[in-house]
Every structure is written in C-alpha cells, then in structure tokens.
Structure 1
Amino acid sequence: MTYQLPATIASAHRRSQSFGLRANLRPDFDPLSLSALSALVEQNRMLYSHAVPAMETLYQQIANTHNSVLLTDARGVILHSLGDADFLEKANRVALTPGVNWSEESKGTNAIGTALAEQAPTTVHADQHYLTANHFLTCSAAPIVDHHGAVIGVLDVSGDRRSFHKHTMALVRMSALMIENHLFAATFENAITLHFHTRPEFIGTLMEGIASFTPDGRFLAANRNGLFQLGLSTPALQAHSFSSLFGMPVSKLYDHERSAAPGLLDLCMHNGVRVYVRAELRLKHGARRLDDAPTLPSPTVPKQPERANLQALNTGDARLAQAIAKVDRVLGQGVPILITGETGTGKEWLAQAIHRDSPRARGPFVALNCAAIPEALIESELFGYEEGAFTGARRKGAPGRIMQAHGGTLFLDEIGDMPLALQARLLRVLEERKVVPLGGAKPLAVDVELVCATNHDLRRRIADGLFREDLYYRLNGLVLKLPPLRERSDLDALVGKMLDGAHRQRRVADAVLHLFRRHAWPGNLRQLATLLRTASLMAGDEDEIGLHHLPDDFLDDLDASPLKPRPAAAPDTKLDDLELSAILRTLNAHGGNVSAAARALGVSRNTIYRKLSRTSQQSPAGRTPHP
C-alpha cells in the first residue's frame, strides 16, 4: 500500500521541489562566521535573552533522550542549540548547528522551515523530511510571535527518529508560549499590564491572558491567550480601551492601586465572561503591582442562577420539565449525560444542577470548556502535568481537570470542539478509568461521573471526520436537548428569577417584558443575564427597569433582526404607543432637545429619530411629536 503524506507535509514537499532542491542534496556546511553569528544574535537580543532560559529548562526535561533544543531567527537561521553530546555529533553531520539556515528554501521540508512557511506548529518525522540526509531526524517546531503577531523565531526539538514521543510537540508549544509571555511582559514599560484568566490559580502561568494599555487606558497589545479570551483580533481591539473591554473606568483601577492591600480584581469582560485580573502599573515614575485584590461587589446587579438544583431550574417550560424528569430517573446510575442545544441555553447550569442532585454532590464539580482554551493548552488542562513537564510549569506539577473531578462530576462543555488526538486519549481514560499526566509515565486511577454538552450536531461532525464515532457512543447514554430562549414559555419567570439573585429587589416594566417576548435572543440565557445586569446598572436606585434603561444595541437589534412570531392582536401597537409616549414625555421635559432626551433615555439620537419617523409613517394623521 502506498504511504500518503499528511497534507501539510505534501504541500511542503511541493514547495521544496519548486525551489529546485533535489532529495539527494548533500547537507550545506557553510554556516555563518562567528562574527556574523554574533551580530545576528545581537540583532535578536530580546528573543535570545528570553528564549535561552526557557531552552535550558526544556532541555532538562528531554536530557539523555538523543535530542537537542534549537532557537532560530525569523528566517530560520539557528541562533543557539542545546543537546546531548551523542546527538549533537550526528546533528553536525547534517549542519543542524548555529549559523546555518534551515528554511525550506535551504533544507526543504523540515520542522523549522515548514513551521515558518505555515506559521504554525509542525512535526516532521523521519522520511517526511525532503532531504534523504535528514531522514534519521524527528523534529517538532513552534513559531514564536511578538506582540504584533509577527513571527520572530522558531523553537525546535530535534532528535533521533527512534526517540520520537507524542508529548514532545506539546512541550515545545508550551515553551514557545512562555517565551512569548516573557517577551510581552518586557515590551511595555510605560503602561498598564493586565494578567487575567477565568481561574485565579492560572494567573502567572503560561495559560494567562496578558493585555497592555496606555496610562490613560487605550489598548496597546495582547498576547495570544489574551486575544483568545477577549475574542477579538488585534485590529478590532485597537478601537477599544480598558473600560470598554473590562467594564471598569481606568480611574477606578488607579483608586484600587492606592488601597492598602490591592489584589485580584473580579471583572466582567465585554463578552460577558468573568475573569480574575492582576494589574501591574509600569509608569515612568516607577512600577507598581496590584496583587490578590478583593472582589468588587456590584450590589444592584442580577446574578446568573448558580448552584441551583434541578427543580429550581424548572420555571414552567414543558420541554425543560420533561428533560429534568428524564435526568431524575438516571441520577447515580453511572449513565453519561450529553446535553445539546444552542450556545447560551443553560447547559452548564443544568450540569451543575445534575451534580447537586446526584449522590456525588459532596464531591467536586469541575468544568472545562473545550472551545474556550487554545489547542496548545487543552491537553495539560484536561490531563494535568508532572513537575517540570514544560517551561513555566509549576514546581510540583498540576492535576488536570479529570483528576480534580475525582469523586465528583466532570463537565466537558463544547465537547464537539475537542481536538481529535485528545478525543482518543479521553476515550481511553473513560474506558480504563486511569489518566496519565503530561510528562508522566504512571497511570493514576480516577473516578468521575461524566456530563458533556455541545451546540454541534455530533453525527455531522463524525461524518466530516471531526469527531470519533466510538467516543460519541461512549458519551450519549442520555441525550437532552435544551430549548432556545425564544421558544421557552417561561420567559417572565426566568427574568424574575435572575433579578431575585440581586441584592436589590426590582421589577421589570410591562413594556420591557413585551420587548423581551418579541426578541429572538440569539445569545439565549447568557444574553438575557447580561442585558439584565446592564439594565440594572443603568437603573441605579430606581425600583423598576424601564425602556430607557435598556442598552441601545438591544433596541437596534430588536428593530433589525427577525422577531419571534408576534401575537395577532394589538399588543405590538400598544408597545409602540408606550415607546412613543416615553420619548415624547422625555422630549417635553428637555424642551425638545433630542440629544438631552437621548441621554436621559439611554438611547442614541438615531434611535429617537427612527422611532418618531416610523410612527409618523404608520399614522394616517402623521402624528407630530412635541418639539
């Protein structure tokens, strides 16, 4: 049977041929002179100085395994290498040494050159190398990027093909991320730098997001994990500030810095995700760090229903009640549960309720969102790692989410987004009830109840080759489908329940509830909770949330997006009248000043003009508002 090269390697081979290279080409033994290499290292001083300590730590993990650790510049020229003496001797035979260019143009398909060409982590094993002379090698390389996202170098582990280990690429990628984090932290001197993560224990590790801002709060840059958690590209973030991204004026950050014992901040990002933040102020007058800050309470803000049991989630919708009844019949029976439904329909809330009503309620509930963690980190998050398994690892290692859930419930959200390679490892853990941490060799026994969730059609993912069929049948003991919010019959009860979670009791105006019933709610429960939080902040000391407390974008979306089927009677007409009445009263109160009225209502001037124009067009009499 003919061996078929992976697509990435096949493309690299085609490029190698286009460069005019021959597979039997002899290795290039013409490295840079010592003076030229020294000059090149000096040109890459920042990269070199932050990479070498990481390389030394990485080498300690692979010592005596016939491997070497290499660092190159952005063109693929090797700047530095560390390795076992016996392997370095073999590496010298193929010019795998400092001062030599290992781009694809020079050496054909190889991990360094192909990682640069693809701008992605790459493993090239044995005869996947284009040059026959390099077939004895197995190499794993990851690009290193600067704060602009530009590739500035490559970190590589190369060794004897017989020493290939599946964990090598994970170690290389994690070490490259740590180098990037160190470079990022050293780049911005006169700036506010935030270190953030949804879990406080991961602040200060390579899993944290990092973002820097000018002293007045304008966005400067973010590292890879920062971009991932913020959910925006660097160009999109250029229009943002600290306050627009983290919902807190920069002045309050400075106030917090002046407190006697500043520590981790608990903030809500623009996308509704709550994160813990450690802030570091490196200003011209001197650096100040904000460590381990107290939570900033928001007494008037409604909270999402957390740690509720199953019956507490049953607020009157028939489909949800049916799903809860099914769960009741299998609790404690070892049946895996798969929850499906659109994003934001409350899959994690249901998973938490299942845990609280199960015989494992006294054990831990551990959640992992497979779509919210970069692929380079999800393996260590799920399976954990041993001491010194990669650069930046904790001194005593760390248990993964699976081991953290021992004796309790493991909730894997967005399971459909788990990388294929990890799906195979997860299946093995579920079947053997044992887990092997990254960098470890001894299997550890584990006892967990499994609940998974996805917004994907897993059967379609299987057909597309993105999800393992054997894992699918291992997960779907009981399948529950949560209805989207627009189809639920208990909207009013949900609103009341979310508001009950706040310290201040509020009610919602009838006109607002009418709007809620018309809305399509593409973000489902998560969108509703965020909207109520914002409206509660706008309401301040008022006891009722009115139309003028709703965010402008919600009203705009309501007009622009497809709505739920409307009742045949006149409630919509009544609602339009209520809106117009509120606008006219506010215009009267401000002497016809549209800008002042818009500010009072919390909407844009365009919204007021549009409402007045539409009402005028619909009215035969062409109603004219009071100026």
Structure 2
Amino acid sequence: MEKAVAVAPRLRASWLRSERYGLTEDEMRPVFTGSVDTGSLLYECGTEVLRGLQTTLANEPISLMITDSDGLVLARLCNDSAINRSLDGVHLAPGFYFAERNAGTNGLGLALADRAPSLVRAEEHFCTGLRGYTCAAVPVPDPHTGGLAGSVNLTTWSDSSSELLLALAQAAAGNTAALMLARASGRKVRPTPRGEVFRVYADRLQHRDEPLSPGWTGAVGQARDAVERGRVVAVTGEPGAGKTALVSLARRELRARERVLSARTPAPEDVEAWLTLWTPELEKDSTCVIVSGVDTLPAWAATELARIFTSVRTGEGLQPFALTAESFDTLPEPLKPLVDAVVEVPPLRSRPDDVLALAHHFALTDRHRAVTFTPSAARALQGYEWPGNVRELRQVVREAATRAEVIDVHHLPAEVFTGASRPLSRLQALERDELVRCLTEPGTTVAQAAQRLGMGRATVYRKMAQYGIKLPGRS
C-alpha cells in the first residue's frame, strides 16, 4: 500500500497532462516517423544488453524496448508472437513516438517525463487500448552530458506477474548506461545533481577593476529592467555560462541588501525533499530564490513548482523568484505561462574579452591574492572555445593558481590548447596530454619534445594536427 500511495500522485499528474494534450481514453495519437537512428550509442548498447536479457527470458511473454528521449521506439525484441501482434495493433513498435503526448499515461512516457523509474499497470494507463498491458520503464542517462538519452521499456500482459518487471528494467537500463559510458571515448558522465541550496554573493562579481564586455553587461541590464518592472524572468544559456550570477547581479543592482538564494535542481528521487527545503523562503521579506535548471525537473515537479510560484507571485514590485534553463523551448510547459521576460546569456566563447578579467577575478577569489598570466598563457585562455563556459574557466584557473603566482602555459591543462575534434579514447587523451606537457615546458623546442617523447619531429607535428593542438607562438 505504501508504494501505491507514493506512486499515485505521479500517475494523477500524468493523467492530467494527458488530458491537456487533448487525448481521450479512447484515442491515442502515436506518430510514425520514417527513420530510426540505429547508429546511435544508445541503440548499439541498448540492443546488445536487451539481446542478452531476451535470451534469459526466452519463454516469457515480455517485449523489450529501447526508446530515445522523445519517446521514439528504436528497437523492440520479443520471442512471443501473440504479444508482438498485439503491440503492433496499438503501434507500440519501432518508428512510433509513444511519449505521454502521443499515448497518454504509459510506462515509458512517464519514465521520460519524470526522469524516474516507472511502473504502469493495466487500469493505470490513460488510454483503454493500453490497459491490457503492464509496462516498466527506466531512464538511461547520456554519458556525454549527463542528460536524458532515452529509456529501457519492458511490457507484458496485464494479468502477468509484474513484481520483477521494474527490477529487470532497472538492471537493463543500468547495464546499458554502463556500456555506453565504457564506449563513450573515455568521457566521464556528469555527476547526478544533488539539489544544493546556497546563498549567492553576486556583489563579488560586481565590484571589479575591469568591466565585463557589452554582451554580459547588456544581458544584466535586460534582466534588471525586467525585474524592476515586476516581471518573472527566465535566464537562458549554455551550462556554466553564468545564468544564476547574471540574474543575481540584476537583483542586487535594484536591491543591494536583498537575500538571494540559488536552488539547484536535484536528482528526480530527491525532488520532494528539495521542494520542502527551500519553498518556505519565498514568503520571507527581501528574499529571492533562483531555481536553476528547471528544464531538468520531472514533469510532476514542474507542475508543483508552477502551483507554488503562482501562489507567491506578487501583483506589483519585484517577484520573489526567477528561473534558469538552457532555452525557453526546454522550459517545462507548466512554467512557460509564468515567464514574462527571457534573457539569454551569451556563451563565453562569444565574449573572449571577458576571459582574462574573469580569470583574474577567480584567481583572486580562490587564492586571496592577485596572480599574473604570461602573454602566452593569456593568449591560450582567450583562444580556447570554453565548451564548459565560465564554470570550466574557474576550474582551470583554480587549479593553475594553486601551482604558481605567475601562470604560464605549462600550468594549464591540455584541453586549453586543443581545438574542437572528435571524442578521444583514454589512450588518445593520455597521448595528447603528454604531448602538451612536453611542448609547454619552458624553453622546450619541438625537436627537444620529440626527443623526450621518442618520436620524430614530423610525427610530433602530425600528432599536433591530429589532436588540434595549438600553442601560442608556434605555428
């Protein structure tokens, strides 16, 4: 009973979303696409894992499926012809989209919407056509981004035992994620967010000797003007671009002593406790809560957040909350009607003039005294693309500043000297890092580096081209 009670609110929220999508109990809208990406890492690893599970379940009427993050069924494996024919009849087959907006409440749709393991039995399905099945589905994370790659879905007859169905789906999804990580060219998956709530000291960025670029200050001005007019602001931009810092600065320019809190979205299983932790702060005077990354929230949590924000939204004056997301399009649907103004933060690569100013600021903040960057190090920092934006810059500077007060190229990581290229294996990354380490040692020529590495000069130049290594002062 306890488990049923815990799951019921998610199912109720899913039924409400299904109604808002315009579905009825008697009508599903599975959309067919003419192509399925069979070359993706998810497809490759997921089908490999499911084939092994299919062998184990050879005599069971269970259909094993892989879907992408939009609910498109990529693969379906099953030895039972009866259930295969039945699933074809409801279009739960490769090439069909089966998300909530297409098929109402169902296992894979709920797992993708809430980004959490889901079991939907018989009558719990929104559409009557699916009530003959029980579906268990589990999200699969993307090893490159830590976002959502897709799901593993197991479907059986509703009168079959479902006790182990979710456990099997969780094991298959876990094995798929592990295999994807092992084959993802040595990249590490982003850690699961923990949902921290902390105070933002934006004034530390505000009082600086060097002003930041017009791209940044213009965005701050847009946010400040919108906040001053009593609008709800959503700040968008790439991960690590400084969305929370920007909206905090805008608030501080209007109300210098305001208490600004940032609430980072947590893992799906921790959302309920996370909401309980910080929502009481919205009622306090001179307090603003910035909810970061709302586009990663489970669907039910976005609905609850919209209800909370609606209840505290003021008729006039500064609103007690702001949002951040990668783009307006990725904002959850329940939150979009609340947003009055969208401000986009330009990525760091679009404002290279900010790199050194921020680097000096971060070094001073972390080391508590100023550091110097050599001209070569400065050129390297300004020439890098910064895919991780300001967050990556801070990490690079923090590590370099612990090693020296005068930061030169050999204090910087190999990535700073590497142009955009295909992902590297672990061995390739080690080779690249060793090349950069030797080439950036003070006074070292290419010929000397080649000798230390046991390579010819031509090989070193070829490797530099292969890895996109560009060192200041060297062609």
TM-score normalised to structure 1 length: 0.41
1:348-497 correspondence runs (5 A): 348-353=244-249, 361-362=258-259, 364-368=261-265, 373=267, 377=268, 381-382=270-271, 384=272, 399-400=275-276, 403=279, 405-407=281-283, 408-415=287-294, 425-433=304-312, 449-456=320-327, 458=328, 461=329, 468=333, 471-477=335-341, 479-488=342-351, 489-497=353-361
1:521-536 correspondence runs (5 A): 521-536=386-401
The 1-side partners of 2:294 and 2:229 are apart by 22
Question: How far does residue 416 in structure 1 lie from its aligned partner after superposition?
Answer: 5.0
The 2-side partners of 1:351 and 1:612 are apart by 36
Alignment-derived partner of residue 121 in structure 1: 108
The partner residue of 2:60 within 75, 91, 104 is: 75
Question: How far does residue 497 in structure 1 lie from its aligned partner after superposition?
Answer: 0.6
The 2-side partners of 1:367 and 1:551 are apart by 28
Alignment-derived partner of residue 509 in structure 1: 374
The 2-side partners of 1:497 and 1:347 are apart by 18
1:307 aligns to 2:183 (yes or no): no
Asked which structure has the greater RCO (Cα within 8 Å, sep 6+), the reply is: 2
1:544 aligns to 2:406 (yes or no): yes
Question: How far does residue 517 in structure 1 lie from its aligned partner after superposition?
Answer: 2.5
Q: How many residues align?
A: 352
Q: Give the conservation status (yes or no) of the 8 Å contact 2:135–2:154.
A: no
Q: Secondary structure at the match of 1:6?
A: coil
Question: How far does residue 474 in structure 1 lie from its aligned partner after superposition?
Answer: 1.9
Compared CA separation, residues 502 and 617, structure 1 to 2 (3 A) = closer
Question: How far does residue 557 in structure 1 lie from its aligned partner after superposition?
Answer: 1.0
Compared CA separation, residues 154 and 337, structure 1 to 2 (3 A) = same
Letter of the structure 1 residue corresponding to residue 345 of structure 2: L
Alignment-derived partner of residue 500 in structure 1: 364
Compared CA separation, residues 176 and 557, structure 1 to 2 (3 A) = farther
Letter of the structure 2 residue corresponding to residue 550 of structure 1: L
Q: Secondary structure at the match of 1:345?
A: coil
Alignment-derived partner of residue 141 in structure 1: 135
Question: How far does residue 509 in structure 1 lie from its aligned partner after superposition?
Answer: 1.2
Q: Give the conservation status (yes or no) of the 8 Å contact 1:73–1:154.
A: no
The 2-side partners of 1:509 and 1:616 are apart by 12
Q: Give the conservation status (yes or no) of the 8 Å contact 1:319–1:483.
A: yes
The 2-side partners of 1:604 and 1:151 are apart by 45
Alignment-derived partner of residue 607 in structure 1: 464
Q: Secondary structure at the match of 1:343?
A: coil
Compared CA separation, residues 494 and 155, structure 1 to 2 (3 A) = farther
Q: Give the conservation status (yes or no) of the 8 Å contact 2:237–2:347.
A: yes
The 2-side partners of 1:592 and 1:107 are apart by 65
The 1-side partners of 2:236 and 2:362 are apart by 23
Q: Give the conservation status (yes or no) of the 8 Å contact 1:9–1:109.
A: no
The 2-side partners of 1:551 and 1:354 are apart by 33
Alignment-derived partner of residue 231 in structure 2: 335
Report Cα offsets for 1:571-605 as digits up to 9, x if no partner: xxxxxxxx99967932499697241899xxxx999
Compared CA separation, residues 140 and 604, structure 1 to 2 (3 A) = farther
Question: How far does residue 322 in structure 1 lie from its aligned partner after superposition?
Answer: 3.8
Report Cα offsets for 1:171-229 as digits up to 9, x if no partner: x99x9877877x69xxxxxxxxxxxxxxxxxxxxxxxxxxxxxxxxxxxx9578x76xx
Alignment-derived partner of residue 384 in structure 2: 519
Q: Give the conservation status (yes or no) of the 8 Å contact 1:143–1:155.
A: no
The 2-side partners of 1:606 and 1:549 are apart by 21
Q: Specify every segment of 5 or more residues in structure 2 that has no aligned partner in the other structure, as ranges.
A: 1-21, 34-52, 64-79, 99-105, 110-119, 142-149, 423-436
Report Cα offsets for 1:386-420 as digits up to 9, x if no partner: xxxxxxxxxxx774566365435443334456677
Q: Secondary structure at the match of 2:419?
A: helix
Q: Give the conservation status (yes or no) of the 8 Å contact 2:153–2:169.
A: no
The 1-side partners of 2:32 and 2:175 are apart by 31
Question: How far does residue 475 in structure 1 lie from its aligned partner after superposition?
Answer: 0.9
Question: How far does residue 347 in structure 1 lie from its aligned partner after superposition?
Answer: 0.4
Letter of the structure 2 residue corresponding to residue 234 of structure 1: L
Q: Secondary structure at the match of 1:593?
A: helix
The 1-side partners of 2:468 and 2:151 are apart by 47
Compared CA separation, residues 400 and 333, structure 1 to 2 (3 A) = farther
1:555 aligns to 2:417 (yes or no): yes
The 1-side partners of 2:151 and 2:300 are apart by 28
Letter of the structure 2 residue corresponding to residue 449 of structure 1: P
Letter of the structure 1 residue corresponding to residue 265 of structure 2: L
Tell me how large the CA RMSD over aligned residues is.
Answer: 6.1
Alignment-derived partner of residue 199 in structure 1: none
Question: How far does residue 494 in structure 1 lie from its aligned partner after superposition?
Answer: 0.7
Q: Which has the larger radius of gyration?
A: 1
Q: Give the conservation status (yes or no) of the 8 Å contact 1:365–1:405.
A: no
TM-score normalised to structure 2 length: 0.52
Report Cα offsets for 1:370-392 as digits up to 9, x if no partner: xxx5xxx3xx655x2xxxxxxxx
Q: Give the conservation status (yes or no) of the 8 Å contact 2:260–2:289.
A: no
1:104 aligns to 2:69 (yes or no): no
Question: How far does residue 8 in structure 1 lie from its aligned partner after superposition?
Answer: 4.1
Question: How far does residue 146 in structure 1 lie from its aligned partner after superposition?
Answer: 12
Compared CA separation, residues 114 and 432, structure 1 to 2 (3 A) = farther
The 2-side partners of 1:363 and 1:156 are apart by 52
Q: Give the conservation status (yes or no) of the 8 Å contact 2:139–2:151.
A: yes
Alignment-derived partner of residue 453 in structure 2: 595
Compared CA separation, residues 467 and 508, structure 1 to 2 (3 A) = same
Q: Give the conservation status (yes or no) of the 8 Å contact 2:376–2:472.
A: no
Report Cα offsets for 1:254-302 as digits up to 9, x if no partner: xxxxxxxxxxxxxxxx75x6978xxxxxxxxxxxxxxxxxxxxxxxxxx
Alignment-derived partner of residue 29 in structure 1: none
Q: Give the conservation status (yes or no) of the 8 Å contact 1:410–1:449.
A: yes
Letter of the structure 2 residue corresponding to residue 308 of structure 1: A
Q: Secondary structure at the match of 2:263?
A: strand
Letter of the structure 2 residue corresponding to residue 411 of structure 1: I
Q: Give the conservation status (yes or no) of the 8 Å contact 2:262–2:290.
A: yes
Q: Specify every segment of 5 or more residues in structure 1 that has no aligned partner in the other structure, as ranges.
A: 12-43, 48-71, 79-100, 159-171, 185-220, 246-269, 277-304, 385-396, 435-446, 561-578, 619-627
